[in-house]
Amino acid sequence: MLITTLNEFIIERQADFPYAKGELSRLLSHIGIAAKVVNRAVNKAGLSDILGEVGSRNIQGEDQKKLDVFANQKFINGLQGSSECCGIASEENEEIIIFDDEMGRNGKYVVAMDPLDGSSNIEVNVSIGTIFAIYRRLSPVGHRAKIDDFLQAGSNQVAAGYIIYGSSTMMVYTTGRGVNGFTLDPSIGEFCLSHPNMTMPSVGFIYSVNEGSYLKFPNGVKKYIKYCQENDEQTKRPYKSRYIGSLVADFHRNLMLGGIFMYPHTAEYPTGKLRLLYECNPMAFIVEQAGGRASDGMGKRILDMIPIELHQRAPLFIGSRNMIAKVEEFMVNFPDER
Residues that bind ligand P6P (CB under 6 A): 117-118, 120, 210, 245-247, 250, 273
Cβ proximity to ligand P6P, 6 vs 206, nearer residue:
206
As a whole number of angstroms, the distance between CA 90 and CA 258 comes to 29
Min separation Cβ 294 and ligand P6P, Å: 14
Cβ proximity to ligand P6P, 239 vs 261, nearer residue:
261
Cβ proximity to ligand P6P, 84 vs 250, nearer residue:
250
Min separation Cβ 34 and ligand P6P, Å: 19
Cβ proximity to ligand P6P, 10 vs 280, nearer residue:
280
As a whole number of angstroms, the distance between CA 245 and CA 243 comes to 6
Min separation Cβ 110 and ligand P6P, Å: 22
Cβ proximity to ligand P6P, 120 vs 322, nearer residue:
120
Min separation Cβ 70 and ligand P6P, Å: 17
Min separation Cβ 261 and ligand P6P, Å: 8
Cβ proximity to ligand P6P, 92 vs 250, nearer residue:
250
Min separation Cβ 282 and ligand P6P, Å: 13
